[in-house]
Chains A and B, each alone.
Chain A
Amino acid sequence: MPITTAKGQGSPWTFLWEIKGVLLIFSLALYFYSLASQLEEFSPPGQLGPAFWPKLSLLFLMIGCGIKAGETFYSRRKKSAPEEQTSVSPPANFLKLGVMIGLIILAVIGMETIGFLLANFLFLILFMRVAGVKKNFPLFLTSFLGTIILLFIFVKIVYLPLPRGQGIFNDLTIYLYRILHFI
């Protein structure tokens, strides 16, 4: 039976599309629930065991997903005017978002491989460029000074052993630290 809703909302597929996030969370909860069930073999006799709490939380998570799906279903039925269905957040530029997320992931990989100094400098340049800083001189100056100041604070003052990178990059970072009098 088709869902009786406002215009453009008649198909159950559109409802399923609306709750795609909820369905994803529900599926993951179900998967982890099956994993948690495997922990029951570690339960001492007469005790709840290590599987009890994760299973309980996942069960309630699935119930939460059901409630959310129900809320979405009833809100669809209530809504009659299209203007009521305004988005919570303003529209996003998904290309820009994807690049920014990619840069964050690359920054973490870079910290491990080429060291914090180089990774941070490159990350600042690229991220600020993607975020909309157009002029080259302020971009490079901010990234350069920012990296130096951060290194001074965390390496020289706080003595935080920020990653130096692997192989040649480790040697390069040490060389740059020496030039900057950080070690």
Chain B
Amino acid sequence: MSVSKSRDTNLLRSSEKSSLRRFLILYFILVVIILSLWGIFYFQSKEKLMRSTQQTILSNYAHEQIQKLRELHQEFPKNSTYPRSQDFRSAIYDIERLKIFSTLDDKDIDFTKRFYRKNGIIRLMTYLDDYYLGAKYLFIEIDEDTNWYKSVIIDILTLGTIFLIIFAIFGLFFVKIFLDPMKNSIRLLDDFIKDTTHELNTPISAILANVEMMNLDIMSDRNKKKIARINVAAKTVSHLYHDLTYLTLNHNRESKNEWVDLKTLFEDRVEYFAILASSKKVTFELDLNYSTIFIDSVKITRVIDNLISNAIKYNKRNGAIEITLRKDYFIVKDSGIGIESEKVNEIFERYTRFNTSEGGFGIGLNIVKSIIDEYSLKISVSSVLREGTAIRVDFLKGTVDEK
């Protein structure tokens, strides 16, 4: 299951991942905006409801206070005690807006608003029809209850988180829907290559075996050249066959790690590719020290083959390939066309080719990268356009024989 997942992920190219990332960011921003707007509307509606409730309470207090003022007006001056309540504070002002009596905490009065909040208090202004004790304006004041505010914020955060999770699940569902056609197209190509690979093996093996068996001594120089060309063509197809086989059949097989002598391996592979290189008059310059690495021999062979094959393929005629091997790294450097600096990061992507005049499927360096990643090795590319490319592979401590 985990292998299948990892393979699915590997199928995505960085441009597709980038599109996916952009979609997810856009989706996330959209969801956050929608939830924020909902939060604001929810808060405003709750606040409106709260204000309406408070206004009703204050209106009731005002009605109660007017009754008491009426009684006091009739009893005045026998009774001259201003009516007070534990539930609210109040004040009365005359028609000329001069204070008659006040129990308000904040003496600053706004006659332009009927209902307002200020410094943690809520105030309601009521007009009296009969001016009891000369009062035209009655102000009722209570302390603002902030508990509703906290409970609304908690509601918004809780519901917001729940909706965010629901939207995230929807988002993942949409991503799956969007990815399926993308994955299917890549899988279709993989299946096509897998099917054709089977048909390549037998004829190539037959060509190569027969070329090897031919007695070149009795041949004319003209025929020798023809046989050499057949050998180069067959080896090119054979290399491609091995890449495709690795990609489609061996990729998920269990690694058989062993100590591999890299110096011998490089010499062997250089000899294998010698005839291919000579067809472009490319020469090898080897600087090989002894080095061994604990790795699957098939996989390290695929890495070296692909680096050398590319160095030949993208080299100029009469060019050179420098191969340097040290205890904990090797470098394969060509004198070829080079790569533009902004495209260096894309060379490891599958089906990416920088020169359509050359053959291939653009899978070689993708295989190299997958093996490098599997063994946690480090690969670095330095390239100068029209001067050449150097690829350096550093070995991880522990994979190299310290002796």
* A and B pair up: no
Q: Which residues of A are interface residues toward B (Cβ below 8 A)?
A: none
Q: Which residues of B are interface residues toward A (Cβ below 8 A)?
A: none
